[in-house]
Amino acid sequence: MLCRFHRILRGDRLKAILGASSFTRNFRPSSGLDMRLVQFVEEGGVFPRVGVELSEGGDVVDLSACDITFPREMTGFLRGGAELLESAKTAAVSGKNIVKRDGIKIQAPVTRPDKVLCVGQNYKDHCEEQGAPIPTEPVIFSKFSSCIIGPGDDILYPDVSDAIDWEVELVIVIGKAGKNIKESEAMDHVIGYTVGHDVSARDWQLQKNAGQWLLGKTMDTFCPIGPVLVTKDELPDPHKLGIRCRVNGQTMQNSNTDQLIFKTETLVSFISRFVTLVPGDIILTGTPPGVGVFRKPNPIYLKRGDVVECEIDGIGTLTNKIV
C-alpha cells in the first residue's frame, strides 16, 4: 500500500503529464474543513512544521507527528489538495499529538509563496479619506515573497526612508491552481484567509522611483502575515469582519471588510486573467482608512520601538515591533 507521500508524488507526476489544469480540476475540497492552520517551530528547533490550532491562541496539533510524510511547510501541504486537508481535519479531532503553545514559535502561515499580490485603494472609506475616485477595476501591485515575516518577528526600520506607515489587510490564500478563473468558481481556488500588514515607505512609494510603488512596499520584513491561516469554512462571511490596526495600543484603523470595493471572487478572477494562481499565493486585499500618511494636520509615521497590532475578527491579531 502506498503511503500518502508517495500518492502525492504520483499525483505530481500525473500533473506533469496532464498539465496543471487537468490535475487541479479534480480537486474539490469537501465542506466542513473548518480549521486554523499554522506553521510553527518547536523551541530550539529549526525546521518548520504544519499544525492545526485548536482554538485562537491555543495549543496546536502537530501534523508531522501524526504522519511523518506530511509536508513540513504550508505551500507543500496546500499542493496536496483535498486529501491532505481531510487528513489534517482527522488529525485535528483525534486529540493526539498536541503541542503546548508556550513550547512553540508560530511562524508566518505561508512562507516563500510563488506570488505576493497586493490591491490598492480597495476600501470605499479609504478612497473617501484620500478624496480619490472609486476604482473601476482592481489596482494590483506586488511585494517580493522574501519580505514575509511572521507574528512576533521584528520589522526592520530601513536606512533609506523616514516615512514608514502601517496598513492592516485581509489576506486571501490560494489553495488550488487556476488561470482565467470565473467569478462563480473563484472560491473553489481559495483555501482561506489570514491577516497581513502591508508596511509601506511612503516616500519611496509616492515620491521617488518615478512613481513605481515596488521599492516602497517590498523592503526587507515589510510583509508580516499571520498568525494563522483560517480556512474559508471557518469564516461564515469573510466580507463582514471587523478589521483594526493599533499602534502602541492606540487604534489607528477601525473598519469592516464590508467596505471592500472588489471582494474575493472578483480579485481572484481578475488577477487570474493575467497570471496563473498556484497554491500558497497570497493576495493582500487593501487597507481601510486611518493610515499615517493621510493624518491631519500632519502625517504620523512609525518609529523604532513602536508596536503594531493588526487584528481581524475571527482570524486573530498579528503583532510586530519596529526595530
Q: Which residues bind Zn ion (CB under 5 A)?
A: 167, 198, 287
- Cβ 61 to Zn ion shortest distance, Å: 33
* Nearest CB to Zn ion, comparing residues 75 and 287: 287
d(CA 236, CA 226): 19
Min dist CB 99 to Zn ion, Å, is 34
Beta strands in the chain (DSSP E): 36-42, 49-53, 60-62, 98-99, 104-107, 116-120, 139-143, 148-149, 154-155, 164-165, 168-174, 190-197, 200-201, 223-231, 242-247, 250-256, 282-284, 307-312, 316-322
The minimum distance between CB 119 and Zn ion, in angstroms, equals 7
Angstrom distance (rounded) from CA 171 to CA 191: 11
Using the minimum distance from each CB to Zn ion, give the nearer residue, 254 or 276: 254
Nearest position to Zn ion, beta carbon: 198
Min dist CB 90 to Zn ion, Å, is: 37
Helix (H, G, I), strand (E, B) or coil at 168: strand
Residue 130: CB minimum distance to Zn ion, A = 13
Q: Helix crossing, 81-92 with 4-18: angle to 10°?
A: 160
Nearer to Zn ion, 84 or 199 (CB): 199
Closer by beta carbon to Zn ion, 255 or else 287: 287
In 3-state terms, what secondary structure has residue 114?
coil
Local structure of 103: helix, strand or coil: helix
| C-beta of 66 vs 223, nearer to Zn ion | 223
